[in-house]
Amino acid sequence: MKEAHLDIRGSITRLLEEEAVQKGLSFIKADNDRTTEEQIELTEIEAPTFQEQVRGNVYKAKLEEVGIKDITIDEVGNVFGTRKGKGDGPALVLCAHLDTVFPSGTDVKAKWRDGKVFAPGIADDGRGLAVVLAIAKALQHTEIETAGDLIIGATVGEEGLGDLRGVKHLFSSRHDIDGFISVEPGEPERTTYLGTGSKRYEVTYEGPGGHSFGAFGTANPIHALGKAIAKISTLSVPAEPKTTYNVGIIHGGTSINTISETATMFVDMRSNSQEELQKLESTVLRMIQQAADEENAFRGKSNEITVTSKLVGDRPAGSQSSESAIVQVAQETTAALGFTPVLDSASSTDSNVPIHLGIPAVTLGGGGKAGGFHTLQEYYDPTDAYIGVQKVFLTVLALLGCAGVTEPLLEKREKAVTSHGTY
Ligand SMILES: [Zn+2]
């Protein structure tokens, strides 16, 4: 493997010897309180998934203010600009997500208590958004010239039924990206490099319905739904790669003495392997149809009950080697800052999409302590949070290369390949 020959540790050591890099690290440390203030300012602009426009506009203005060029808001609402490198280097994306899980009208005003700031979305992903801006500022402040280009900004639709639509759009609309970093709340030593995939279906059984006594013998959608759940609930799935299923919501029925006309369930399936996810999906879809067929057959009917399965969530799974350059660089910068690097287990983040496409990607912890994610008690503690920013800063510099100091550790990909599947 080519990457094994890269002198990652040596490159990071050389970067740390550079005066401009040290200046950047000091700037980031001194900028800790201001970064927190900006994090609060962004968090206090509500941004539910699908309603990220207002926050997106503010974010664009902030990137402009720092001096990032060619900033655009694309069709779906992603905000990205470019900090050009010297030329002929790789292109790296650095981003966070604009959206939160909190509906419009949620009180997002920040409140300080015991050194922590409480506000829904303050950490996820208020922290990431603030870190990305802090990196832009540190780069501009130090006037460091990178070899490759930094594509810097924020995505929409990372949460829930947003279904990673921002990052999917990014990768379907441009094919010049060689690497990807997303910043999420988390300790600075943590790196996520595997993506958990998911498929979610809304399944609806429909039939003619009728009186429970008078129309007895009519095929029953609720009974069909019950048969489907009985089948799904005893499915064996591998523990490794972790693969799971869940029927999370059921509804249907009008009264106790009515044969219902409809019955609906929501099924969630996940796996760290795309292959296992696809296997599970086709098995579950087959069982859903079988349940309708069995209910019809039992009542001596054909097609009295029909079933539709609507895909409402589709996040690709992806894995890459922990030896890949992007993962190793993140690990080494963590160690260089005096921390023991930790590789996180797979999760679902914007990085899923590039990892699935075979493009090197990691999700990095933005620093500070945080908790209560996705709840109204979400909080963030900014103590020593700058270490997260420093780690991202060094990782970006090492991957893009620092003109005249180090070569890029991120490899330029063949741009001729544009068969990116559906994303
Ligand atoms: Zn997040």
Same domain, 343 and 249: no
Same domain, 232 and 251: yes
Cis geometry, peptide bond prior to residue 125 (ω within 30 degrees of 0): yes
The span from the CA of 423 to the CA of 417, in Å, is 14
In a domain, 161, yes or no: yes
Same domain, 252 and 273: yes
The span from the CA of 104 to the CA of 126, in Å, is 16
Distance 99 CA to ligand 1 centre (A): 8
The span from the CA of 250 to the CA of 348, in Å, is 25
Q: Which pLDDT belongs to residue 161?
A: 86
- Would you say how long the chain is, in residues? 423
Domain containing 163 equals 3-195+318-400
Q: Which pLDDT belongs to residue 88?
A: 85
CA dihedral 232, 237, 243, 245 (to 10 degrees): 10
In a domain, 410, yes or no: no
The span from the CA of 264 to the CA of 282, in Å, is 19
Distance 316 CA to ligand 1 centre (A): 16
For 161-196, what is each residue's pLDDT tens digit? 899 999 999 999 999 999 999 999 999 999 999 999
Distance 363 CA to ligand 1 centre (A): 10
Distance 173 CA to ligand 1 centre (A): 22
Number of structural domains the chain divides into: 2
In a domain, 169, yes or no: yes
* CATH code of residue 35: 3.40.630.10
In a domain, 147, yes or no: yes
Distance 373 CA to ligand 1 centre (A): 9
Distance 393 CA to ligand 1 centre (A): 20
The span from the CA of 385 to the CA of 186, in Å, is 10
In a domain, 422, yes or no: no
Distance 330 CA to ligand 1 centre (A): 19
Distance 29 CA to ligand 1 centre (A): 24
For 19-33, what is each residue's pLDDT tens digit? 999 999 999 999 999
Distance 193 CA to ligand 1 centre (A): 15
Distance 375 CA to ligand 1 centre (A): 13
Distance 165 CA to ligand 1 centre (A): 14
Distance 271 CA to ligand 1 centre (A): 19
Distance 159 CA to ligand 1 centre (A): 7
The span from the CA of 125 to the CA of 138, in Å, is 20
DSSP code of residue 162: G
Distance 47 CA to ligand 1 centre (A): 13
Same domain, 298 and 323: no
For 327-342, what is each residue's pLDDT tens digit? 999 999 999 999 999 9
- What residues form DSSP beta bridges with 124? none
Distance 156 CA to ligand 1 centre (A): 11
The span from the CA of 192 to the CA of 190, in Å, is 7
Instruction: Tell me whether residue 295 is exposed, middle or buried, using C-beta atoms within 10 angstroms of its C-beta: 0 to 12, 13 to 18, 19 or more.
Output: buried
Distance 377 CA to ligand 1 centre (A): 16
Distance 124 CA to ligand 1 centre (A): 5
Q: Which helix (H) or strand (E) holds 211?
A: strand 210-211
- What residues form DSSP beta bridges with 243? 271
For 143-168, what is each residue's pLDDT tens digit? 999 999 999 999 999 998 899 999 99
- What residues form DSSP beta bridges with 236? none
Predicted confidence (pLDDT) at residue 422 exceeds the cutoff of 80: no
